[in-house]
Amino acid sequence: MTQMLTVMGARIIEILQLIGGIALFFLRTLRALVPPKYDARETWRAFYKVGVQSYTIVILTAMFTGAIMVIQAGGTIQASRATSFVGWAAGFTVLSEIGPVLIGLMFSGRVGANNTAELGTMVVTEQVDALRTLAIDPMNYLAVPRFIAMIVMLFLLVALGDLFALLGGAITSHVMLDISYSVFVSQVIDAQLLDEYILGLIKGSLFGMSIAIVSCYFGFTVRGGAPGVGRAVNNSVVASAIGILAIDLLVGIIHHAVR
């Protein structure tokens, strides 16, 4: 019993240390944003890597998400002959909830994991130390560009993904429920989902911020060579997923409270 409590206590301390470390890293990143001294080339590279190389996977994820929403609701909607709600149902769930969360999770698995691996490799091969010896601050040079790029690009990717999710929903509605594209579009417009769309974009930005901080933190704190990088990537993906779901819950609660 005592041993179990000791192990549990140690684990809790470890988790609290991790949360504290991530929080401090977040504050250091915010501090490094002012005054803006980050490297334009590295920032552009981060935008390219984070955004341009991710949009295909986001489009695919979004289209599948929209299609699945319609498939899930299709049976009930057809049985109750409430086909006029298809656009609303697909739009409501995709724009505010499923779209940003799934895109965020895909983004974390692709971009966040890649970022941790890249930074972790730079740490174990002393490239980060080499930057320091060149009197270049790794926070300014490496962390800040990634932080900005992930926030901006996940915002834009969610905006883009939402459109493709609706397209996926429209195609599935047309094929499965025989609802024309124009009717589906007018249903979405009539549903007045601007609030949900904006809420999804806000979530996207917050997810981007969370993924950036978590993935950079685990990358910069790698210890133990190549196995350490593997562990860090694993931990980064898990922590990012938890962060996404926690932020989703928090924003949902706040949104519900202020509505």
Burial tier of 28 (Cβ tally within 10 Å: 0-12, 13-18, 19+): middle
Q: Binding of another protein at residue 97 (CB under 8 A)?
A: no
Residue number with CB closer to another protein (96 or 115)? 115
Helix segments in the chain, DSSP class H: 2-33, 40-47, 55-79, 86-93, 99-107, 113-124, 127-133, 138, 144-177, 181-190, 194-220, 225-258
C-alpha to C-alpha distance for 164 and 102, rounded to whole angstroms: 13
Q: Which of 4, 5, 79, 135 binds another protein (CB under 8 A)?
A: 135
Instruction: Count Cα neighbours of 135 within 13 Å in the Cβ-side half-sphere.
Output: 0
C-alpha to C-alpha distance for 150 and 78, rounded to whole angstroms: 40
Q: Print the binding letters for residues 103-122 with another protein: x by CB under 8 A, - otherwise.
A: ---------------x--xx
Residues that bind another protein (rule: CB under 8 A) add up to a total of 18
Q: Binding of another protein at residue 45 (CB under 8 A)?
A: yes
Residue type, 192: Q
C-alpha to C-alpha distance for 115 and 118, rounded to whole angstroms: 5
Q: Binding of another protein at residue 190 (CB under 8 A)?
A: no
Q: Binding of another protein at residue 39 (CB under 8 A)?
A: yes
Q: Which of 11, 31, 132, 223 binds another protein (CB under 8 A)?
A: 132
Q: Binding of another protein at residue 31 (CB under 8 A)?
A: no
Q: Which of 72, 125, 180, 186 binds another protein (CB under 8 A)?
A: 125
Residues 191-250 that bind another protein (CB under 8 A): none
Residue number with CB closer to another protein (125 or 186)? 125
55-34-118 Cα angle (round to 5): 40
Q: At its nearest, how many Å lie between another protein and the CB of residue 13?
A: 20
Q: Binding of another protein at residue 136 (CB under 8 A)?
A: yes
Q: At its nearest, how many Å lie between another protein and the CB of residue 232?
A: 17
Residue with tokens 């690009």: 153
Residue number with CB closer to another protein (119 or 202)? 119
C-alpha to C-alpha distance for 173 and 188, rounded to whole angstroms: 12
Q: Which of 13, 130, 175, 198 binds another protein (CB under 8 A)?
A: 130
Q: Binding of another protein at residue 53 (CB under 8 A)?
A: no
> Measuring CA to CA, how many Å separate 41 from each of 27, 141, 186?
24, 10, 44
Q: Please choose, out of 7-15, 23-31, 88-96, 126-134, the segment that lies near another protein by the rule CB under 8 A.
A: 126-134
Residues that bind another protein (CB under 8 A): 39, 41, 45, 118, 121-122, 125-127, 129-137
